Amino acid sequence: MELAIVTVQSRRLMARQPAPDEAERERLLLSLSQVGPNKTIGYLPLYTIRDFVQLSPETIAADAAARGLASEQFGPEKCCIKSGALYVYDREGLTQLLATYAGTLEADNLPLDPDRFVAHIAAVWFQPNHPAYAVIAAAFGEIA
C-alpha cells in the first residue's frame, strides 16, 4: 500500500488511506485476532489502527473484551512504539506463561502480574540478547 503525501502550508502530511477491504483489515488485525492460549499477547501501533485499519482502538478493545481478553492502550509517552499502541492479551494464559518463566523474570526484576508485565513491555523495548526476550517472544507466540 503506498502512502499519499500532501503538502499543506509547507508541511508534508500523509493523506488518509482509502478504507481497507475486509480481507486487508483482517490481515492488519491478525496480531490481535490470534491472541489466545498459544499467543497470549498481541499489539498494533495506534497509527496503524487509526490510519490503515480505520477503526478506533476502543472498538478493537471492546471486541477483545467480548472474546474474554484484556486490552490496554498506551499513548506515546508510556510506550516504546512511537505512536503508542493497543495491546490485547489473554490474562489467564499470560499468568500461566509468566509463572513458567518466574525465575527468569524475577532475576531481571520484571513483573509476574500480567497487567504490569504488559505495561512494562509496552514501555521498554527488549533486545534479542536480553534474558527476558525469550519470555516475551513466547508471549507473542513466536517461540514455544
* The pLDDT of residue 16: 61
User: Which residues are registered as beta bridge partners of 88?
Assistant: 42, 71
- Asked if pLDDT for residue 134 goes beyond 60, the answer is yes
CA dist 4 → 7, 8, 56, 131 (Å) = 10, 13, 21, 41
pLDDT digits (tens, 9 = 90+) for 76-86: 999 999 999 99
The answer to whether residues 86 and 56 touch, using CB atoms and an 8 Å cutoff, is no
121 is written with which cell numbers?
513491555
What value does the mean pLDDT of the chain take? Answer: 88
Domain ranges in the chain? Answer: 21-139
Angle between helices 114-123 and 91-100 (to 10 degrees): 80
- Give 24 or 100, the one with higher predicted confidence: 100
Q: What's the pLDDT band for 19 if we cut at 50, 70, 90? A: confident
* The pLDDT of residue 9: 45
Please state, for a pLDDT cut of 70, what percent of the chain lies above it: 88
- Asked if pLDDT for residue 4 goes beyond 80, the answer is no
Strands 5-8 and 70-74: unpaired
The reported pTM is: 0.84
